[in-house]
């Protein structure tokens, strides 16, 4: 059957939506399913109209879009194909190349979208966010209670999901719309209230993972009391992180309210409790309480070392960051034995620890060692784009401070687009040179950067409370702190 040729990411989505693939009724899956076939099959299975799009790529089980044709082949296909599409989906490099070329005369309004993941195709290509928010994608005979619990588990664990977090947030909103209308009669009032709270939790956690501001209220005691300790600690960790990611002035209130939960079952060593401790350390650091943050982060690292050493990368990165900000050279050097194992094998954790270690060395005046770390390409072979951009910024700083040219590194950063790290790198250089009259254009550009502007505004809410950001960054002292304490 054609459904069995769907990659695992698409089968996962159909199962989540209550339209699972019956794998017993088909033979072997076809190799290399195309993105076009996958999107068409999903639209058919979910009774959702597919826009007039042409998807020229393949999609693997993990949800990665790849193998688009070369640009000349795509151009030839567009000239000869009919009916003409309104949207073209290809991988990002092909999209950038096509946008730089003139379109065939018959396609003046063609949307060329670069999609690198299944989630991009759902949100940008199929434009399924609105129907998801309206609850139109869920199956009519959905087992709502079970589905609420599954969404809640996905949000609690917060591991990468095939459909992407923005899409999951929309699905939670859509299910909440349907729940009280279609299923409330079969659920006692207490269970209805609990289900709606869980869906709101899924929505807010997902929006935060998608980069949007979504501060969560501290749950009422009766809500928390309904969960075992392991789940309660997970809920509180997400709640605390939401405050430090979106509302720094309230963060200290959150840390004071949530910290006592760590005193419950004091002797318990558990992953959920340790994640809460790490979240508490990050929140205290975000609020500028570096001493208190260091205590929590060191304890979290110690606990992870006893349970799952690879998980220690999260609190370790934050500890390195705050030691670097404070210029604590000796305490930083003492962490080398913890850092070294993460740098032995390229991975995402290696990239983040390498970035935090290199940045902290530079900020502590260990310029040559910082330069050596940040220059090691193999450490950053698995770095996501925002970490790579930050690496280029701190590498450029290390190059300048060691008497080398930073021009090639800044060119690499410039090629990544209008990023916060590009403007921070330029501010670094101007501040180092003492050319204060050149600061403002770069500072204003940082506040409106296509990516990262919200991070700058969030930091300024603590560094210059009550001040309008455009004026706050005209104070060189505030601007220097912003550059020094920026989270990446």
* 2 has a pLDDT exceeding 80: no
Give the pLDDT confidence score for residue 353 in this predicted structure: 98
Percent of the chain with pLDDT over 90: 69
Q: Kindly tell me the sign of the dihedral angle through the C-alpha atoms of 12, 17, 23, 27.
A: negative
All domains of the chain, ordered by start, with CATH? Answer: 2-127 (3.30.230.10), 144-209 (no CATH)
The residues, any chain, with a CB within 8 Å of residue 159's CB and separated by 6 or more, are none
User: What average pLDDT score do residues 392-420 get?
Assistant: 96
What would the pLDDT profile of 167-220 be if each residue is shown by its tens digit?
A: 999 999 999 987 654 444 455 555 578 889 999 999 999 999 988 888 899 999
Give the pLDDT confidence score for residue 171 in this predicted structure: 96
* 21 has a pLDDT exceeding 80: yes
Q: Compute the distance between CA of residue 191 and CA of residue 423 in angstroms, rounded to an integer.
A: 50
Q: Which residues pair with 113 in a beta bridge?
A: 89
pTM of the model: 0.86
What would the pLDDT profile of 35-78 be if each residue is shown by its tens digit?
A: 999 999 999 888 887 767 889 999 999 999 988 889 888 888 88
Burial 449-485, CB ≥16 within 10 A → b, else e: bebbbbbbebbbbbbbeeeebeebbebeebbebbbeb
Give the pLDDT confidence score for residue 26 in this predicted structure: 45
User: What average pLDDT score do residues 390-414 get?
Assistant: 97
Q: Compute the distance between CA of residue 396 and CA of residue 371 in angstroms, rounded to an integer.
A: 9
Q: Kindly tell me the sign of the dihedral angle through the C-alpha atoms of 129, 135, 139, 142.
A: positive
Q: Which residues pair with 320 in a beta bridge?
A: none
The residues, any chain, with a CB within 8 Å of residue 144's CB and separated by 6 or more, are 175, 178, 179, 182, 183, 195
User: What average pLDDT score do residues 442-452 get?
Assistant: 88
pLDDT band at residue 477, thresholds of 50, 70 and 90?
very high
Q: Compute the distance between CA of residue 195 and CA of residue 192 in angstroms, rounded to an integer.
A: 5
Instruction: Of 108-122, 133-147, 168-182, 383-397, give the lowest mean pLDDT range.
Output: 168-182
Averaged confidence pLDDT in the chain: 89
Instruction: Of 143-157, 414-428, 441-455, give the lowest mean pLDDT range.
Output: 441-455
Q: Report yes or no: 112 and 59 within 8 Å, Cβ to Cβ.
A: no
What would the pLDDT profile of 226-240 be if each residue is shown by its tens digit?
A: 999 999 999 999 999
Distance of CA 82 to the CA centre of its chain: 39
What would the pLDDT profile of 302-312 be if each residue is shown by its tens digit?
A: 999 999 999 99
What would the pLDDT profile of 71-106 be if each residue is shown by its tens digit?
A: 888 888 887 766 777 888 999 889 888 888 876 655
Give the pLDDT confidence score for residue 193 in this predicted structure: 82
Instruction: Of 3-7, 38-42, 118-122, 208-212, give the lowest mean pLDDT range.
Output: 3-7
What would the pLDDT profile of 312-354 be if each residue is shown by its tens digit?
A: 999 999 999 999 999 999 999 999 999 999 999 999 999 999 9
Give the pLDDT confidence score for residue 453 in this predicted structure: 74
pLDDT band at residue 454, thresholds of 50, 70 and 90?
confident
What would the pLDDT profile of 245-297 be if each residue is shown by its tens digit?
A: 888 888 999 999 999 999 877 777 899 999 999 999 999 999 999 999 999 99
Give the pLDDT confidence score for residue 23 in this predicted structure: 60
* 451 has a pLDDT exceeding 80: no
- Main-chain dihedrals φ then ψ at residue 86, nearest 5 degrees: -100, -20
Q: Compute the distance between CA of residue 54 and CA of residue 87 in angstroms, rounded to an integer.
A: 6
Give the pLDDT confidence score for residue 3 in this predicted structure: 43
């Amino acid at each position: 059957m054609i459904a069995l040729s769907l990659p695992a990411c698409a089968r996962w989505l159909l199962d989540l939506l209550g339209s699972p693939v019956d794998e017993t009724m088909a033979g072997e899956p076809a190799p290399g399913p195309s993105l076009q076939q996958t999107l068409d099959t999903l639209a058919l299975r979910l009774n959702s109209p597919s826009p007039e799009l042409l998807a020229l790529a393949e999609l693997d089980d993990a949800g990665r879009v790849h193998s688009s044709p070369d640009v000349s082949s795509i151009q030839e296909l567009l000239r000869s194909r009919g009916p003409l599409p309104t949207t073209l989906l290809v991988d990002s490099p092909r999209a950038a190349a096509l946008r730089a070329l003139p379109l065939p005369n018959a396609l003046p309004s063609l949307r060329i979208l670069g999609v690198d993941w299944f989630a991009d195709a759902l949100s940008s290509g199929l434009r399924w966010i609105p129907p998801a928010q309206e609850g139109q994608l869920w199956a009519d005979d959905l087992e709502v209670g079970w589905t609420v619990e599954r969404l809640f588990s996905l949000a609690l664990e917060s591991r990468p999901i095939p459909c992407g977090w923005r899409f999951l947030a929309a699905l939670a909103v859509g299910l909440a719309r349907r729940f009280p209308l279609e299923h409330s009669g079969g659920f006692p009032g207490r269970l209805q209230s609990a289900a709606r709270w869980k869906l709101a939790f899924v929505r807010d956690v997902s929006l935060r993972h998608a980069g949007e501001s979504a501060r969560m209220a501290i749950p009422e005691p009766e809500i928390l009391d309904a969960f075992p300790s392991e789940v309660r600690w997970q809920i509180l960790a997400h709640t605390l992180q939401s405050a430090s990611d979106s509302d720094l002035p309230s963060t200290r209130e959150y840390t004071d309210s949530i910290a006592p939960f760590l005193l419950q079952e004091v002797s318990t060593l558990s992953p959920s409790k340790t994640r809460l401790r790490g979240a508490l350390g990050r929140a205290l650091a975000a609020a500028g309480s570096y001493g208190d943050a260091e205590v929590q982060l060191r304890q979290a690292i110690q606990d992870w070392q006893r349970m799952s050493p690879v998980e220690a990368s999260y609190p370790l990165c934050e500890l390195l960051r705050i030691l670097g900000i404070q210029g604590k050279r000796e305490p930083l050097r003492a962490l080398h034995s913890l850092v070294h194992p993460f740098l032995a094998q390229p991975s995402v954790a290696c990239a983040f620890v390498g970035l935090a270690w290199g940045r902290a060395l530079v900020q502590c005046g260990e310029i040559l060692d910082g330069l050596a770390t940040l220059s090691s390409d193999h450490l950053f072979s698995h770095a996501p784009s925002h970490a790579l951009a930050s690496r280029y910024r701190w590498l450029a700083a290390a190059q300048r401070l060691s008497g080398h040219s930073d021009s090639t590194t800044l060119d690499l950063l410039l090629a990544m687009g209008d990023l916060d790290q590009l403007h921070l790198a330029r501010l670094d250089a101007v501040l180092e040179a003492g050319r204060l009259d050149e600061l403002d254009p770069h500072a204003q550009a940082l506040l409106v950067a296509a990516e990262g502007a919200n991070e700058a505004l969030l930091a300024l809410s603590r560094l210059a409370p009550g001040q309008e950001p455009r004026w706050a960054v005209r104070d060189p002292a505030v601007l220097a702190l912003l550059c020094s304490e920026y989270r990446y």
